[in-house]
Structure 1
Amino acid sequence: MDAQRSSGHPTGRRVTPTGLVLRWALLPCVAALIGLAGCDPGEDESRVLVIVNSKPITRDEFEYRWSELPASVQARYKSEGGRRKFLDDLISRELLLQEARKLGLDRTPRAIERLERVKEQLALDELMKAAVTAQVAFSKEELEGYYALHQAELHAADQMRAAHILVKSEEQARDLKRQLDLGADFARLAVRFSLDQATKYRGGDLGSYRPGWVEPAVDTALLALKPGMVSEPVETASGFHLVKLIGREPESAAEVAAVRERLRQELYAEKERQQFEALLSRLRGTAAIRMVEASRFVTEDAGPPPAAPAP
């Protein structure tokens, strides 16, 4: 959903595909060092693309690493030599990796510590997938209910036809509202009483209106109205408004669909959060946690731990 930035680097310096692939391939590289990736030297040669100092790079490995690249990096490769250039960068990466191993850099205390951190993160990622993400589900009825709770956001995608009357005091605004409730004509009251010179002689007609064009308080009032309804007085820096929703038309099916998709993702994220909190609460509820020297070295109050779920 988010567009990739074209610069790709905060300093504005051009980042070459070689640099990108070396960085992007770091995690698979580390995984290979700890036995989570790699290939058998006796690999069927029909699957081997190139051998670098007896280390084969297979078609499967090539395709996997290519698929892991962001779309923007793949596009850059396609404009600067294509997959053949990518293979050349994999060869360079393998040569650098072999040199690092020859120098024992994969066995230094710092490297071993970093490998442990990567293994921990991989384990946590897998737990989140299995115990949180895979458990998230909601029915069509629940999703429709979520849409109903966020009608204002769905209406924000609409183009509205609205009118208003602007007066100086709340008392006058309430008096006009009483007259409107008794059947007075909105346009005539606007011509007679509105202080907005740009709209009063059009009966207060704001024309085609989109949320965000005027004060947020006016937006809020409009989004809560049904066509033909008039709001209660709305106070802004200009005075007090009576706002009428004349009609509402969906801007476009694509825009409404985009809002619905965003709301669906919000519901999904909320379900994920609830699932995560339930998991953490269950683990804390059954764990033996004993503070030893924490009171001496950690002085900030983290607040009470979450309560265990009711049985």
Structure 2
Amino acid sequence: MRFLLREPLVHFLALTGLLFLLHNAVVGEDATLDNERRIVVDRDALLTFIQYRTREFELEQAEAELAGLTEAELQQVIDSYVSEQALAREARALGLDRTDYIITRRLVQSLEFIARGMADADSEPTTEEITAYYSANPEEFFVKPRVSFAHVFFSGEDRGSDEAMSLAQSALEKLRAEDIAISDGARFGERFLYGANFVNRSGGYIVKQFG
């Protein structure tokens, strides 16, 4: 045994094993930390995020909203989602989910809502009850309007605003009379750099684009 302990090969193997265990311990901690910090962004997460941000809890509507985003708009939504998730994790790390009264009340309200839904699942409301609830809570049923249109552009820079308005009015009458599809509307006007077809867009989005 003493002979083996004096062998350089034994020393080398022992040192190698120690380094291997140390490496696994360090890498394992880093991997765990990376997993805790990782924020997964997938389609389902973005759909849920969009529904809560717009307060329109309709999956098809959220899917249409997501599909209609430009690359820049999609990146903005992703950035907002990641930022929200990071802040939520930081809040939980600080214990705000346990010490902040507002958050506590939100959790209680969520549980009460679920419990009330389970309790009412077996009882079908009457027409009068539905009407009364709708009248008392109209904001819960409000759906923000959305529009689809083609932006047929006429510049007033060279011809003046009056002539541009006249051309636009004539084009509008022609589009309506011939029932031109939105996808074909832009060809009746002049080239516009910032988009021509707007499908299923909210009022806020339109204001942001056109002022």
Normalising by structure 2, we get a TM-score of 0.32
Which structure shows the bigger proportion of residues in strand conformation? 1
RCO comparison, higher one (Cα < 8 Å, 6+)? 2
Q: Normalising to structure 1: TM-score of the pair?
A: 0.23
Q: Which structure carries more helix by proportion?
A: 2
